[in-house]
Amino acid sequence: MTDNEDVGLKAALCNFGELVRRKRQACRWNFRELAEKTEIEIVKLSDVETGVAALTDRERETLCEFLGIDIDAFPKMLRNERGKAAIENVEAPERLRREPIVDLTRYRASWQKTTTPPGD
């Protein structure tokens, strides 16, 4: 797995977890109730909401169907976040070339005070 994929996966897990949390809280269910209804372990549900781990495809589909989330929500988020990470990685060298490495304007005033112009 490349760095772009890793960064994209982490971001997608966080986004999906936040979506699941909002849906669960909107229904006023706690973890135990949701676990009983979906037959997914409480620990796994907690890990999903915190963005720590993903469920299996089947568990994710069950959860999405139960909460009324598009089944393809996670793959779409993953593809989107990996694309963002790839674009940011490609643009990073360009951004570095445009930005000065050392901002000399900060030091110019103090240099002008301590140095004297060459005499003729």
Cβ–Cβ under 8 Å, residues 12 and 74: yes
Q: What is the Cα gyration radius of the chain? A: 25
pTM for this structure? 0.68
Homologous superfamily, domain 3-98? lambda repressor-like DNA-binding domains (1.10.260.40)
Structure tokens at 49: 């909401």
Q: Which of 67, 114, 115 is nearest to 48 (CA)?
A: 67
By mean pLDDT, which of 24-28, 70-74, 80-84, 95-99 is the weakest?
95-99
Q: What is the pLDDT of residues 39-88, one digit of tens each?
A: 999 999 999 999 988 899 999 999 999 999 999 999 999 999 888 887 77
Q: What region, left, alpha or beta, does residue 39 occupy, with left being phi > 0 and alpha being psi -120 to 50 degrees?
A: left
Per-domain boundaries in the chain: 3-98
Give me the percent of the chain exceeding a pLDDT of 70. Answer: 69
Structure tokens at 108: 């110019």
